Amino acid sequence: MQIGGRVAAAILTGSLAVAAAACGSSGSSGSAQTGTTSSTGGGSTGTSGTAAPSNAPGVTATEIRVGAISTLTGTLASNFESLVPGVEAYFDYVNAKGGINGRKLVMANSLDDGGNPSQFNQLAQTLINQDHVFAVVGVATAFFSPNIFQENGIPTYGYDVTGNWSGAPNLFAAGGSVQCTKCGEPEFNWWVHQVQPRNANVGLLALGFASSANSCKSFNEGLTQAGIKVGFTDFNVPYGGNPAPDVKRMQQAGVNTFISCMDVNSNIAVARAMKQYGYTSVKSLWLNGNDQPTLDQYQDLMQNVWFSIAHVPFSYATTAPSRYPGLVTYINAMKKYQPKWTLDEVALQGWESAALFAQAVKAAGSNLTQANVVAETNKITNFTAGLFAPVNWTEAHDVNLVKPPYCAAWIQVQGDKFVPAFNKDNGAFLCFGPDVVHPTMVTPPAGTPGA
C-alpha cells in the first residue's frame, strides 16, 4: 500500500536528525583516510590495474556488484527517488577513472518498495540471496528494517530517516548512524542569540510524530537549560490541520523566534497564516524545506527563514570553487551523469554513501571481503567526501560516543536563493563545543571542507 503524506511528514521531519547527527563527529585527530576524499569529493578513485581475486559475493575480476532499496514509485517516491541517482553518479564518476582497484562499481539491482511498509525484508532477502550483492549502497525508505543486513554482515550505506541505523557496525547512514538531537542544541541556542540578542521568546512547533516531536522536545530542553524563554510549544500539531490556532497562540504569547520541526507542507501553511495575521517580525528556523523547487514556488513565504544543513552550501560552487573542490566535483559529475538531481539534498546523501563505500573498498585492497570493507569503513576517522563536516566512523554508531565539536552550515533565504549565513571568509561550517548555556564557537576540526 502506498502511504501518503502523513508518513512523508514523519520522514521529512526525521531527516533533520540526520543533519544533527552530521554535526557531531570528527572527534579525535584526523587520519590519512581523509586524504583525497576531502580534497576532491570523490577522491578515493583511481588505481587501475589487475584486481586481486576475491570469493566475496558480487565480486568478479572486473566488477563489484551492489544493490539498493528505495522508494521509487508511489506517493512517497518524491522524498527518496533521487538517492540512487546520487549513488550512480558517483559510480559513473569513479568508473570513468578506472574504478576501484581495477574493478568497476556496478548497481546490479535497484529495488523499489513502492512505499509499501511490509515489503522491506522481502527486498532485502532478494538482494542478499537472489542477487548476491556485495553490499547495499543506497537505502532510502521510510520502512528500513536493519536486522537482516545486520545478521548477514552486509555493508549497508544509505539515508537514515527512521533512526534505527545505530548500534550495528555494518550500517552506515550518510552523516553518521546516530540521530543526535542533543548535538544540535548548542547551535540552535547560538542561533537564537544571533537573531534575537535580547528578549528572545521562542515558539516550537512539531507534528505529532516521534521523529518530529522528539527533535523539538530536545531543543526545548536545551533552550530552557540556557535560560532562553520558550513562550509556546505544540509538539502535537495535527498533520494537514488548521494552522491558525497555533499561530494565534504564538502571537498572543509574544513569540518572536520560531523553530519548526515540521514538514515543508506544514511550514508553508504556518508561514502563510503568520503573514496573513500580520505576524511578520518573527525570526524563523525550519528544519525542512531547504529545497530549490520549494523556494521557487514559495519565495514570498520563505524570506529570511534560516536552515541548518550538514553539507557545504551549493552556492559556494560558484562563489568559492577553489575552496570547495569536493562540491565542484560533485556538481560537475551530477551535471554530467544525473543532471535532473544536481541540487538535490537526497542525491547528495547518495553520493556521500557511495563515496564512503568506495573509500572502504579501496582501503580493503586485495582483501576484498564484506567483513573487511565494514572494518575499513569503521577505521575512517575523518570522512567528508569534500562536502560534509567530518564524520568519525569509530564513534558514529553510538550516540554516547559522539563528541563535540558539533558542526553545521547555515543558510538563509534571500530572494530566490539560499545564501550562506553567519559565515566568515567563506567558511562553510560553524562548529560548537558542548556548552548549551553559553554556546561557544570552536575551530572546525582538521579536514573540514573549506577550513
Partner 1 sequence: MEQFLGFAIPGVPFGCTYALFAVGLVLTYQATGVFNFAFGAQAFAAAFVYTWATQVHHFPVGAAFVLTVLVMSPAFGLLFDHFLFSRIPAQKNMAKVVTGLSLFVGIPALLPVVFGNQNLLNAPSVFWNIDTVYFTVFGTPINGAELTVMVVTAAALAGLVVLMRFTPLGLQMRGAVESRRLVQLDGVNARAVVAVAWVVSSVLAGLAGVLLAPLFAQVQVTAFTTLMVAAVAAAAWAALRSLPVAAVAAVLVGVLESIFQGYLPTSSWLYSAVLPAFPFIVLAVALLVVPGLRTLETDRDPLASVDPPPPPPLRAIRLPVMDRIIRVTWYAMLAAFIVSMLTWMPRTWENVFNSGLAFSTIFLSVTLITGMAGQLSLAQGTLAGVGAFAAAQLAHHLGLNMLLGGLLGALAAAVVAVVLAVLSLRLAGLGLALMTLAGALFFDNAVFNQSGVSNGAQGLSIRQDWLAPFRFFSADGHQLFVLSMAALVFSVIVVNLVRKGTTGRFLAAMRGSETGAAGIGIDLSRQRITVFALAGVIAGIGGTVFTIQQQVANAEQWNYELSVAFVVIVVTTGVSTVEGAIQGGMGFVISQQLLTYLPGRFGGSSLVFVGFAFGALTYAAHPEGVLEYQKARSTIKWQKRIFERRGPPVGPPAERVPALADG
User: Distance (Å, rounded) from C-alpha 421 to C-alpha 373?
Assistant: 38
- Contact set for partner 1, span 217-236 (CB under 8 A): 232-236
Query: What single letter denotes the amino acid at residue 300?
Result: D
- Contact set for partner 1, span 153-172 (CB under 8 A): 161-164
Name which position in 31, 196, 294, 332 contacts partner 1 (CB under 8 A).
Answer: 294
Which residue stretch of 206-214, 320-328, 334-342, 360-368 sits at the interface with partner 1 (rule: CB under 8 A)? Answer: 206-214
Shortest reach from residue 229's CB to partner 1, in Å: 16
Query: What single letter denotes the amino acid at residue 328?
Result: V
CB nearer to partner 1: give 295 or 396: 295
* Residue 153 CB neighbour total at 10 angstroms: 15
Shortest reach from residue 8's CB to partner 1, in Å: 7
- Contact set for partner 1, span 346-405 (CB under 8 A): none
The yes or no reply on residue 239 touching partner 1 (CB under 8 A) is yes
Short-list 342, 330, 344, 425, CA closest to 387: 330
Shortest reach from residue 92's CB to partner 1, in Å: 18
Shortest reach from residue 321's CB to partner 1, in Å: 29
Which residue stretch of 140-148, 305-313, 359-367, 368-376 sits at the interface with partner 1 (rule: CB under 8 A)? Answer: 140-148
User: Distance (Å, rounded) from C-alpha 283 to C-alpha 104?
Assistant: 49
SS3 124: helix
Which residue stretch of 29-37, 148-156, 395-403, 411-419 sits at the interface with partner 1 (rule: CB under 8 A)? Answer: 148-156
The yes or no reply on residue 306 touching partner 1 (CB under 8 A) is no
The yes or no reply on residue 292 touching partner 1 (CB under 8 A) is no
Q: What angle do CA 326, 70, 348 make, to 5 degrees?
A: 15
- Contact set for partner 1, span 170-199 (CB under 8 A): none
Short-list 71, 156, 82, 66, CA closest to 112: 71
Q: Grid coordinates representing 317?
A: 560552487
Shortest reach from residue 371's CB to partner 1, in Å: 16
- Contact set for partner 1, span 9-68 (CB under 8 A): 10-11, 14
Shortest reach from residue 163's CB to partner 1, in Å: 4
Residue 349 near residue 86, CB atoms below 8 Å:
yes
Q: Grid coordinates representing 251?
A: 502571537
CB nearer to partner 1: give 60 or 150: 150
Name which position in 50, 198, 300, 424 contacts partner 1 (CB under 8 A).
Answer: 300
Q: What is the largest CA-CA distance in the chain?
A: 71
Consecutive H or E run containing 51: none
SS3 content of the chain, % helix, strand, coil (to 5): 40, 20, 45
Q: What is the DSSP string of 214-235?
A: HHHHHHHHHHHHTT-EEEEEEE
Q: How many residues bind partner 1 (CB under 8 A)?
A: 85
CB nearer to partner 1: give 91 or 190: 91
- Contact set for partner 1, span 64-123 (CB under 8 A): 72-75, 77-78, 81, 109-123
Shortest reach from residue 211's CB to partner 1, in Å: 5
Name which position in 245, 254, 339, 365 contacts partner 1 (CB under 8 A).
Answer: 245
User: Distance (Å, rounded) from C-alpha 301 to C-alpha 107?
Assistant: 40
